[in-house]
Amino acid sequence: MNEEPTTLHPKIDPALCIGSTACVKACPQHDVLGLISGRGALINATHCVGHGACAAACPVGAITLVFGNEKRGVDIPYVSPNFETNVKGIFIAGELGGMGLVRNAVTQGRQAVEYITCFIKDKKKSSDAYDVLIVGAGPAGISASLAAQKAGLKFITIEQNDIGGAILHYPRHKIVMTQPMDLPLHGKIKVRETTKESLLELFSGVIQKSGLKVNTNEKMTALTELPGEFKVTTTKGEYLTRTIVLAIGRRGTPRKLGVPGEELTKVSYSLLDPEQHKGHDIIVVGGGDSAVEATMSLASCGNRVTLSYRGDALSRIKPGNKDRLDKALSEKKLSLLLNSNLKEIREKDAQIEADGKLTKVPNDFVYIFAGGELPNDFLRGIGVKVEKKFGTA
- The Cα 318–Cα 121 span in angstroms is 49
- Closer CB to ligand FAD, 100 or 371, in the complex: 100
Q: How many CB atoms lie within 10 A of CB 323?
A: 11
- Closer CB to ligand FAD, 123 or 174, in the complex: 174
Q: How many CB atoms lie within 10 A of CB 270?
A: 16
Q: Helix or strand or coil: residue 194?
A: strand
Shortest approach of ligand FAD to residue 130 CB, angstroms? Answer: 15
- The Cα 75–Cα 392 span in angstroms is 12
DSSP string covering 262-319: TTSTTEESS-S-GGG-SS-EEEEE-SSHHHHHHHHHHHHTT-EEEEE-SSSS-TTS-H
Please give the residue ranges that form the binding site for ligand FAD (CB under 6 A).
94-96, 100-103, 105, 135-141, 158-161, 165-167, 170, 176-178, 219-220, 247-249, 251
- The Cα 256–Cα 132 span in angstroms is 32
- Closer CB to ligand FAD, 17 or 220, in the complex: 220
- Closer CB to ligand FAD, 89 or 164, in the complex: 164
Shortest approach of ligand FAD to residue 343 CB, angstroms? Answer: 28
- Closer CB to ligand FAD, 160 or 306, in the complex: 160
Shortest approach of ligand FAD to residue 301 CB, angstroms? Answer: 18
**Pairing state of beta strands 386-389 and 39-42?**
unpaired
**Pairing state of beta strands 340-345 and 238-246?**
unpaired
Q: Helix or strand or coil: residue 184?
A: coil
Run of H or E residues at 345: strand 340-345
In angstroms, how far is CA 171 from the centroid of its own chain? 14
Residues 116 and 92 sit within 8 Å (Cβ to Cβ): no
Shortest approach of ligand FAD to residue 348 CB, angstroms? Answer: 31
- Closer CB to ligand FAD, 91 or 337, in the complex: 91
Shortest approach of ligand FAD to residue 82 CB, angstroms? Answer: 17
Shortest approach of ligand FAD to residue 194 CB, angstroms? Answer: 9
Shortest approach of ligand FAD to residue 137 CB, angstroms? Answer: 6
Q: How many CB atoms lie within 10 A of CB 68?
A: 23
- Closer CB to ligand FAD, 212 or 350, in the complex: 212
Q: How many CB atoms lie within 10 A of CB 192?
A: 11
In eight-state DSSP terms, residue 39 is E
Q: How many CB atoms lie within 10 A of CB 99?
A: 23
Shortest approach of ligand FAD to residue 242 CB, angstroms? Answer: 19
- Closer CB to ligand FAD, 100 or 228, in the complex: 100
